[in-house]
Structure 1
Amino acid sequence: MSDLSWLNPLYQFQNQLESNCRSIPDGLLHLLWSYMYREEMQSRFSKPMVWIGIYIAVASLFCILPMLADLLHGFRNKKLWFPCKYFTLNAASLTVIAVAMKLPMDLNNSMPLAVDLAAKLGSMPFMCAMMANLLPSLATMDSKELLANIIALAILVVTLVVNVCIQLETSVIAHGDGEYLSIATFYSWLIARFYVAMLLLLLVIHVCSALMILKSKQILFSKYKEGHETALKDLELQQPTVEKLNQHVSKYWIMAGTGSPQFMAVCSTTSSASGVICVSTTILHVIIMHYTRPYMKFYRSDYKWSVIVILITQFTGSILGTVAPLSRCFASLSFKVSIKWIWNQIRIFKVESYYTQKLSDWKRSSVPMKLSSRRCKIVIQDLKVLILSLCVGFQTMVVVACKLTALIPIFIVIGVLCCLQCWKWLKDMFGVSYNVSVKTPTQLQHIKDRNRYVLQLEDDIELAERTLEGILKSVNHVIQRAETQQPKNLMKLLEKSNCYEGVGKHDFHQVPPLTKEKYVDCWSLPVVTLTTIAVCLPNIQKHMIDGLLMSVSEGLRYVKHVEETLNARNEYAIIQKAAEMLWVEVEIYHIWLGNKMPNPTHQFNTPKEIVQWFSDTAKNMVTEVESKNMKGSLYTSVSANSMYRIAKTILLSHHDDIDQVSQEELFVQLSSVISQILAACLTNLPQVIAMKCHTSVIEKMDESVHTAAQVLGETMQIINSLQDRELPSLNPNELPFIDKWRDFFLHPSP
């Protein structure tokens, strides 16, 4: 009954009417009651609309923030074509966009005043800006992802367009009586239809771009493989110098920069057309906001004051969302602009083959059918050819239309070039000299060499030299910035030893394993195990222990690169995962396999007792795991077995007189062994950097070479210092494996 308490005033009013106004007919009383009931119900149901409006504004904000993050990322990395890193087309972004489009989707709630109508119409240019920003992200997807996301986007846009058209027919958007519409109503009607047309055009452009991307990535990848083979011939993988590695990374950076699927999408005609559409809708929205500004305090929709929050948020998003498409529009021209190229663009609207090649391939392919009737197969095949032929024609028309639209920024660029040429002419006329750089034959040869690694869809168009210079500056910027992040603690640890013999001292073959199954060894597990013992030694100064922990933590970061690149087989991955989990326990929680590590001040007084405790505990754990077949036994068994072998090796190497060795001496010995293992592992860094430059997935090419440049910048000094050490006489393909190093030092060849 408490939920219906709001009806009490209505009942009281009805009783007063019946007692005081008995002359009023019952039908009229019933009509008054029904009207008041509907008004009260409408008021009650509209109360949550304010919070729904806030929800729409928050969803819009979640769309704006990743667009802003992409802008900042582009400025920071000097990529003014603004690749999509944070704001990409996926299920999550489409869900948030659908929430942000609630106002134009709303079929029933009237938006009678100027602010209400501006908010409803303003969602559509915001949607145009988001679609223009999302276009390059299509190039990051494989075929299945691309198909799923394009279909999802098409469903969202078509639903939005249909809902707006329904509201135009029902006059929810444009109010008026028949053909006597007011001027404001007529403009609203016209503006809504313009936005609908732009949304449909952008959807068509997205579909057209998706078809182009499918074929273009195949072309780029085939050219990338040629560049990869050329780059490998120029690099000596056997101990290459830092300078050669720098040149090698630069070659792949050029291939990744020019052959990036997103870069290719940005340079396309469809991207320029989407930028023009985005700018035109935003300009119209700015004009609407200018005329709406005096009426910002007046609203009448059920969303109440939240409609102003939505309007301001989405207007801000439209303005910010225009920056990247507009910059891409002019950047794509600057990448390849020349008077000859501009003239060809104006004179002939040539539709490149990669725009229609995928449709042509589908047209020539056969349809998998399980039909016995030959006549049915012929009909279906002919129908497929007819439909795809129409699609090829439509695709060609769309590309030509995009080229026509792209003439707008082209003419602007022509104007800028003419102004620059006039400025140079005036400077010449008035005798103002300026330097003209004349390139030497060596510089020209260098330019020719690096141009071999430029990947483009069209061979007859040369990339602008300033664009290539900008790409090389960006890789130098990444490397130089990484140089400021040198692992100083690791470098200090590596300086404690100048040889590699410790790789053979950490684990003796005469110590039998505790487990029946024989596991392979990796670089990270013995480092973590030795560090665990070292930090538990009594009476070692805290700053020395903290220094060792920080050094090992930095070292394991690069050890992980080596293991993931060169020891990627499943049997190694299991051991590496165990070492990673063990290090988290040791470094952060100061426990070992769930056991609190021995406290030197209370439980143990000598190094022997600590090492013996680790040996006994490891043996008991392995025995318990194998007898009870415990869950997670692999991680425990691998880690405990490593501890047992290393602890026993330490005891055997000192012939049980370990207590005669001072704690500081043992700590130094363990630190030296850790240093030598890390140094041996990091001798593989040049090979790792060279291999990280290359990837077989074109969508990850940019990320892979960026990682290689980052690692190169951070480890330049380490690579230089390790090249001064004499390597053991191992085959190059044996250097990535610690067991090969250990066998060499335990059983050196004569």
Structure 2
Amino acid sequence: MGGCDVDGNLNQDKFSAPMPWIGIYVAAASLACLIAMAADVIHGFRHWKLWFPCKFFSINATSLTLIGVAIKLSVDLNTPMPGRQDQLAKLSSSVLICTVMGNTMPSLGVMKNKEIMMNAIAFGILVITLIVNICIQLATGAIFVFCMEHAFIMFIMLVLLIMMNFSALTVPVCKRYLEHKFNKKYQLALKEGRDETGRPLVTKLKECLMKHWMMAHTSSPQFVVGRSATCTASAAFCLLSAMILAEAMLRSYLMPWSFTFCSGKSDYKWSTTLVLTVQTTAVAVGTIGPASRWFTAINFRCAKRGNKSYREELKVEKYWTQGLLELKECPLSMRIRNRHCRKLVHGTRNKLLDLCISMQTGNVIVSKAIQLISIFIVSKILLCCVFCKQRKSKVKTIFNDSGTESQPNPKLDLSRYVLHLEGEDALVHHMMRSNCDATDHWFRRGKKLEPKYIMKLLKKSTLSQGFKGVANFDSEQVPSLDMEEPPNCWALPVVTLTSIALALSNISSSSIEELISGVHEGLMYINFIENYLDGKEGVTNVRKAAITVWQGVDLYHKWLDVDLRKMSPEGKSSKEILEGLAETAKFIFEESRKKHMTTNACLRDNPSKWPVRELAANSMYRISQTILMNYECSINQTGERLFEELNVMISDIMAACLTNLRLVIKRKCLSIGIEEREEGVRHAVYILGKTENILNILDHRIPPSMDPHQISCIDEWRSLHKDSPLYFPSPCPSEGGKASSHFPSPSPSEGDKASSLSSDFYLVID
């Protein structure tokens, strides 16, 4: 019974039966690492970042767990693994962890200080455990071939661990230093932007973002770690470990007589072949990134070293040891009563820190020495490539001179905005040259996806009359459902007006779909703007109400639980539809109020905390009543006339909101930390490309009396309209009794003849 056979002996076959499944589990974990590293390689090539940042595979709890499973065969102390595939699988597991360390070192830059410490300790425990287990297996004979290879791999593992941990010590110092330089360069860019007047808005924004991109990219912590001497040296060790695995595999297959393997089969059976195949592929793919970093660094250093002495090349810059020196100067955090014990602890700590400083110095010198050795090895090949490239460039120049002369496009000099550390002066030109076109690339990509439906909506806006729809969608003459009114946001009135437009009768399906598409595109930008600019407290629930309502309108043509298509049966006038929506909204508001007031009496005192249904119902009630009061001539006619009026109001609100785009695009570059700043600037450039024409249309349309804080708030726009009667033209002209039509966007010739109201609008970038 249980684990014994009929003779009472231990049933080994029964216990070893699940082992192939464990092998599959190890192969699956290795495959996950392979996929993540391959994704980083593809991402690096796609964005032409040949230093290959760690976007998908970095050091964290998930990756450490996967690695722990993937190296299971190397830490297995007592399972017999007699065959060639079994022994190679043990070696490949050890090489895999070297590949992972070399591949993921740049990810140290994106971690917070506490994360760096915890992940470094966890990785250290994992590596030390693996080294101890391999030593035990070498002593017991569980590993009986490839002993030299295992010894070299253990040495490389230990060196990579030291390089990773000591590189992690410099990350906080580098971040602090580069953040300080970024702030200084930002002030310089700000001053230059103020001095430039009379230029198109998009051109100034684009040049501003080019400066921000160069600063963000060159100060990106991943890029800083990736171009460091220690990361380059770790890439060389990673490449060496892959070569050791390749050597062992080739020698075992091409020279089988030089090995003596044991007879019998492993308990893992055929699964070791699967593990070996997956892990070998993972090592090959994972070596691409480190090898590229190594080769790029050597290529540049070889061409630029010039007459520098070896002493200058091996100089240890201050930032490598500054963190340890600052730690040494800090007093002890714990208080020990006995003075002699305090002295002993203080002295011991300082001795340990001195040891760490010496090790860090040696680590940097060794890393730079590896760079010099690498340059010496491959310099002839690189110089040959440079010579061929120069010859090709000369031939091309002669050919261009013989024909028509081509004037090169002048490019913005961004060398002042390259942020670099001590000892990286020679890298400035290289970093500027290799990344100056990144903003053009993302700008063009954004321009290809220009939002066409918003452009159609903006043509209906009353641009020359100050976006009068911002004031006209809600009237103070409408009686309130409660003593106080909640604050406004940009999205909720747009969603409510769209819901009313969908409920009207005799509207073509193409017009409805076009409106929905335009509002859907517009809400993406409205939400984008409100996320960055709307600092007004209490609008969170209002924005949530807009999102909730729009989801129902967009997917099901339903406002809350009301089917908008059933609001307009045959023969029902627009007035009846609006009255029905107002009554329904009032009913929903009162029902929700009865439900929530019994459980939360403070809702009456704070309208911003009303439930979503109450906020949506209040908006629908007020807007429907406003339209009934102010647009009587339109609602008494066909639904098409009111539909056009609603389109104008929606367009006006969107246009007024989109005037904040230029502020958001600039603020996005500063509102995020140094770790995500590069991604933020790239997204800002992409948004600028998508909205170039929108910004050109809305340029010089902001009232000069409004400051940036007021521009971002819809209530401030409404206050401005209240103070200026020019913004309230009657929606129904007195002559002829006809309803007013919408106000189209003025042509350039009309804009020149516009009144002083529109000509006073201007836009300042600061």
TM-score (norm 1): 0.87
Q: 1:672 aligns with which of 644, 648, 652?
A: 648
Give the letter aligned to residue 89 of structure 2. Answer: A
CA distance in 2, matches of 1:676, 1:434: 56
Structure 1 pair 220–341 and aligned structure 2 pair: CA distance change class (3 A): farther
One-letter code of the match for 1:121?
L
* Partner of residue 251 from structure 2, selected from 281, 291, 294: 291
Secondary structure of the residue aligned to 1:462 is helix
- C-alpha deviation, 1:641, in angstroms: 1.5
Q: Which amino acid aligns with 2:421?
A: L
User: Cα deviation per residue 1:250-278 (whole Å; 9 max; x = unaligned)?
Assistant: 00110011111111101101111111111
Q: Are positions 1:492 and 2:469 aligned together?
A: no
Partner of 2:421: 457
Residue 629 of structure 2 corresponds to which residue in structure 1? 652
Cα 1:715/1:126, change in 2 over 3 Å: same
- Offset at residue 299 of structure 1 (A): 7.7
Whole-Å Cα distance in 1 between the matches of residues 132 and 489 of structure 2?
Answer: 60
Q: Does 1:735 align with 2:711?
A: yes
Letter in 2 for 1:452: R
Q: What amino acid sits opposite 2:594 in the alignment?
A: S
Q: Distance in 1 between matches of 2:613 and 2:685?
A: 36
CA apart distance, 1:651? 1.2
- 2:126 is aligned, of 147, 153, 156, to 156
Match of 1:354 in 2: 319
Q: 1:512 to 1:232 in 2, by over 3 A?
A: farther
Q: Map Cα deviations across residues 627-669 of structure 1 (whole Å, 9 max, x no partner).
A: 22169952222222111111111111134x6641211111111
Find the counterpart in structure 1 of residue 60 from structure 2: 90
Q: Say whether 1:216 aligns with 2:174.
A: yes
Closer/same/farther in 2, CA of residues 529 and 421 from structure 1, 3 Å limit: closer
The residue type equivalent to 2:511 in the other structure is M
Deviation string 1:502-539 (CA, Å, 9 cap, x unpaired) is 11111112224324453221111111111111122223
2:276 corresponding residue in structure 1: 311
Q: After TM superposition, give the deviation of residue 222 of structure 1 in Å.
A: 0.7
Measure how far apart 1:572 and its partner are: 2.8
Q: Tell me the matched-pair count.
A: 701
1:213-242: CA deviation from partner (whole Å, max 9, x where unpaired):
121111111111111111112224999610
Q: CA deviation at 1:468?
A: 1.4
Alignment counterpart, residue 543 of structure 2, candidates 570, 573, 576: 576
Q: How does 1:132-281 map to 2 (within 5 A)?
A: 132-174=102-144, 185=145, 188-236=146-194, 241-281=201-241
Equivalent residue number for residue 123 of structure 1: 93
Between the aligned partners of 1:436 and 1:372, the Cα distance in structure 2 is 83
Which of 603, 609, 613 matches 2:580?
A: 613
* 2: CA distance, partners of 1:641 / 1:573: 16
- Equivalent AA in structure 1 for residue 683 of structure 2: T
Deviations, residues 24-65 of structure 1 (Å, cap 9, x unaligned): xxxxxxxxx35xx33xx2111111111111111111111111
Which amino acid is the alignment partner of residue 623 of structure 2? Answer: I
Secondary structure at 2:538 match in 1: helix
CA distance in 1, matches of 2:722, 2:390: 77
Give the deviation of 1:192 after TM superposition: 1.2
SS in 1 for 2:427: coil
Which has the higher mean CA deviation after the structures are superposed, 302-311 or 490-499? 490-499
Q: Which residues of structure 2 form unaligned runs of 5+?
A: 601-608, 727-766
Residue 82 of structure 1, CA deviation: 1.1
Helix, strand or coil at the partner of 1:452: helix
Instruction: Quote the offset at 1:381 in angstroms.
Output: 1.4
Counterpart position of 1:387? 352
Q: Cα distance, 1:420 vs. partner?
A: 4.4
The AA in structure 2 aligned to 1:451 is S
Contact 1:540 1:663 in 2 (8 A): yes
**Structure 1 stretch 225-234 or stretch 719-728: which is displaced more?**
719-728
Separation in 1, partners of 2:264, 2:438: 50
Please give the secondary structure, in 1, of the residue aligned with 2:539. Answer: helix
Cα distance in 2 for partners of 1:582, 1:138 equals: 43
Q: Does 1:701 align with 2:677?
A: yes
Residues 1:71 and 2:41 aligned together = yes
Cα–Cα, structure 1 residues 432 and 332, in superposed 2: closer, same or farther, change >3 Å? closer
CA RMSD in angstroms comes to: 3.0
* 1:304 positional shift: 0.9
1:482 lines up with 2:446 in the alignment: yes
Partner of 1:370: 335
Which deviations, in whole Å up to 9, do the C-alpha atoms of 1:677-730 show, x marking residues without a partner?
A: 111111111111111122451111111101111110100011112226574743
Q: Distance in 2 between matches of 1:590 and 1:351?
A: 67
**1:335–1:464 CA contact under 8 A, matched in 2:** no
Change (3 A) 1:569 1:395: farther
**Mean Cα displacement is larger for which, 728-737 or 493-502?**
728-737
**Could you say what secondary structure the match of 1:315 adopts?**
helix
- Cα 1:127–1:424 change in 2 (3 A) is closer
SS in 2 for 1:75: helix
Question: Of 497, 510, 516, which aligns to 1:530?
Answer: 497
The residue aligned with 1:14 is none
Q: Aligned equivalents of 1:410 and 1:723: distance in 2?
A: 54
Partner deviation per Cα, 1:276-302 (whole Å, 9 max, x = no partner): 111111111112222344789x98211
CA distance in 1, matches of 2:474, 2:31: 57
Q: Secondary structure at the match of 2:305?
A: helix
Q: Is the aligned partner of 1:398 residue 2:375? A: no
Q: Does 1:471 align with 2:429?
A: no
Do the aligned partners of 1:337 and 1:464 also contact (CA within 8 Å) in 2? no
| Paired amino acid for 1:122 | S
- Which residue does 2:592 correspond to in 1? 625
What residue is the counterpart of 1:591 in the other structure? 558
1:563 pairs with 2:567: no
Aligned partner letter, 1:475: T
Q: 1:244 to 1:526 in 2, by over 3 A?
A: same
In structure 1, the partner of 2:291 is 326
- What is the CA–CA distance in structure 1 between the aligned matches of 2:639 and 2:394, rounded to whole Å? 83
Q: Which amino acid aligns with 1:469?
A: R
CA 1:364–1:242 in structure 2 vs 1: closer, same or farther (change >3 Å)? same
Change (3 A) 1:468 1:172: same
Gap change, CA 1:462 and 1:299, over 3 Å in 2: farther
Residues 111 and 300 in structure 1, CA contact (< 8 A), matched pair in contact too: yes
> Which secondary structure does the structure 2 equivalent of 1:699 belong to?
coil
Partners of 2:411 and 2:281 lie apart in 1 by 46
Shift of 1:732: 3.8
Distance 1:626 1:134 in 2: 55
Cα pair 2:218 2:431 within 8 Å, conserved: no
**Does the Cα contact within 8 Å between 1:427 and 1:433 map onto a contact in 2?**
no
> Hey, what does 1:691 align to over in structure 2?
667
Cα offsets for 1:585-631 (capped at 9, x unmatched): 22124332344445146598332333223222222222222222169
